[in-house]
Structure 1
Amino acid sequence: MAKQSKRIAELSKLVDREKLYDVDEAFNLVKQTAKAKFDETVEVAVRLGVDPKKQDQQVRGAVVLPHGTGKTARVLVFAKGDKAKEAADAGADYVGEEDLIQKVSQGWFDFDVVVATPDMMAAVSRLGRILGPRGLMPNPKTGTVTFEIARAVNEIKAGKIEYRLDKAGIIHCPIGKASFEVEQLAGNFRTLVDALQKAKPSGAKGVYVRGITVTSTMGPGIRVNPQRVSVAE
């Protein structure tokens, strides 16, 4: 087991590892324990009661956080003709066809999200082995394969994030920065949890949300009471 640094050990004293915190209380603690010299990212880990090995229990999608993430994503769009112009007018950082496909295949990754029109996917699929492992492959389930290019780009720039179940049955997502107000973090958090609830697979049995932990980049994990999370609060 890795030895804790003195800083983490001191910050951990502020957190009761046995307690399940209410949402606002948890984010107050996140802000108290985010003591790095940079604006730490606040992240959420949600353990779900699903079997990630079963295809009918996969959980994947996207949601627009009401207060954004604190970071403006760099958007790459594969489109042509009028849709390419639409993407550029909407504020996409990079727009192209074969030229950009070739550039990415050679190892260029100066972007955070990839969007493609359906008619480009046959060509974009050649990048599957490159984009797939990085979680960047466009997918209709996350709204990144679409002819509604302007809408897709605008949502991403406004704070749209993707979520995807990992092999351990956990969803990991950034929901803001430590500099955010507690109310902003709590609002983004509830929006994400609500989206996960709505994405519950029909094959999932028993308790669906089994555990939630929030943390800043360099801070200790803080457990949130899943029974006390409500978008209406």
Structure 2
Amino acid sequence: MKHGKKYGEAAKLVDRATQYDPAEAIGLVKKTATAKFDETVEVHIRTGCDGRHAEQQIRGAVVLPNGTGKTVKVLVFAKGAKLDEAQAAGADFVGGDELIPKIQNEGWLDFDVVVATPDMMGVVGRLGKVLGPKGLMPNPKAGTVTMDVTKAINDIKAGKIEYRLDKSNIIHVPVGKASFSEEALAENYKALMDAIMKAKPSALKGQYLKSITLATTMGPGVKVSTAKYC
């Protein structure tokens, strides 16, 4: 992949052979964010897990203390009193069966997170083929299948992120924006890594975290030392 001049200049600041401590890595990532927009800072964690085995799957969620810097649109599937509760808590969209054709047939996907009460999962399940591939299916482990819709919405709006293994057993998650202070990014990074360490599957044999890379949307990757987590 051919990169532009700005990327080349930014990449010169990073020693690809070095594993930096988190504070240094965060400083470098901020320096290498040269795009005209406020880039997202992402963490990419290569694990030693084999996601083909259910007991080695990793999936969960964590509320970042300083949020993600992104305005998140929440869709809630509920009925009765829970519909009113979701609206009062600040959900962007609320509904039930009537939303199915809108999503299935009209391709409406103007939301970032889907929350559902357990009694609505039969309805939401019909959207599996649409929401599943986009990582939008509500899930109890992520706290998005719950009767406490107020807490779910508040957590998401406050900066809750979901983490899970992809097909290559890598976890990709945002931890803020390049405009965040180094302290804010460091706090978010620590909250994420604490959650990832707690999620370590007991069935895993061998090394859990193989590599950690920090990068902005358009910037070069900066390797972070895994020594602390071995």
Asked if residue 191 in structure 1 is aligned to residue 218 in structure 2, the reply is: no
Residue aligning to 1:96: 95
Q: Distance in 2 between matches of 1:3 and 1:126?
A: 42
1:4-55 CA deviation, whole Å, 9 max, x = no partner? 3222111110000010101111111111000110000000001111112212
Matches for 1:31-46 after TM superposition, within 5 Å = 31-46=30-45
**1:80 — aligned with what?**
79
Cα distance in 1 for partners of 2:100, 2:145 equals 16
Contact 1:59 1:199 in 2 (8 A): yes
Structure 1: runs of 5 or more not aligned = none
Separation in structure 2 between the aligned mates of residue 30 and residue 114 of structure 1, nearest angstrom: 31
Question: What does 1:120-139 align with in structure 2 at a 5 Å threshold?
Answer: 120-139=120-139
Q: Is residue 215–residue 222 contact of structure 1 (8 Å, CA) maintained in 2?
A: yes
Q: CA offsets per residue over residues 175-223 of structure 1, 9 Å max, x none? A: 1000000011111111111111111111111121111000001100000
Q: Could you tell me which runs of 5 or more consecutive residues in structure 2 were left unpaired when the two chains were aligned.
A: none
**Alignment map for 1:46-125 (pairs within 5 Å):** 46-106=45-105, 107-125=107-125
Residue 133 of structure 2 aligns to a residue in which SS? helix
In the alignment, the residues of structure 1 paired with residue 101 and residue 174 of structure 2 have an alpha-carbon distance, to the nearest angstrom, of 30
CA contact (8 A) 1:22 1:228 kept: no
- SS of the equivalent of 2:132 reads helix
Return the TM-score normalized by structure 2.
0.97
**Number of equivalenced pairs:** 229
Q: Secondary structure at the match of 2:75?
A: strand
CA distance in 1, matches of 2:90, 2:140: 21
Deviation at 1:102, TM superposition (A): 2.1
Kept in 2: contact 1:70–1:176 (CA 8 A):
yes
Q: Secondary structure at the match of 1:188?
A: helix
Cα distance in 2 for partners of 1:100, 1:73 equals 19
Secondary structure of the residue aligned to 1:161 is strand
Separation (CA, whole Å) in 2 of partners of 1:118 and 1:163: 21
C-alpha distance in 2 between matches for 1:3 and 1:94: 41
Q: 2:72 & 2:2 partners in 1: Cα distance? A: 35
CA contact (8 A) 1:69 1:176 kept: yes
CA contact (8 A) 1:46 1:170 kept: yes
> Given residue 220 of structure 1, which amino acid in structure 2 is its aligned partner?
P
**Offset, 1:130:** 0.4
Cα shift readout 1:119-171 (whole Å, capped 9, x = no counterpart): 00111100000000000001111010000100000000000000110111100
- Match for residue 150 of structure 2? 150
C-alpha separation in 2, matches of 1:208 and 1:10: 33
Following the alignment from structure 1 to structure 2, what is the Cα–Cα distance between the partners of residues 228 and 199? 16
State the match for 1:221 in structure 2.
Answer: 221
Distance 1:53 1:5 in 2: 38
1:228 Cα deviation after fit: 4.0
Decide which moves more: 125-134 or 203-212. 203-212
1:200 pairs with 2:200: yes
Q: CA RMSD in A?
A: 1.2
